Amino acid sequence: MIWIAVSIFAYASVAHHPDMRVREYQRWAGYRFYGVVGTLIVVLNFSGEMKELLGGGMNLLFTVWAVSLLVVVPLGIRDLIRISRENWQDMMVEVQVHE
Is the overall model pTM greater than 0.75, yes or no?
Answer: no
Structural contact between residues 18 and 93, judged by C-beta atoms closer than 8 angstroms: yes
| pLDDT digit string, tens, across residues 6-52 | 878 888 888 888 888 988 998 888 888 888 888 877 777 777 776 67
**Residue 85 confidence class, pLDDT cut points 50, 70, 90:** very high
Structural contact between residues 61 and 37, judged by C-beta atoms closer than 8 angstroms: no
HEC string of 2-64? HHHHHHHHHHHHHCCCCCHHHHHHHHHHHHHHHHHHHHHHHHHHCHHHHHHHHCCHHHHHHHH
CA–CA distance, 59 with 7 (Å, rounded to integer): 27
Domain ranges of the chain: 2-85
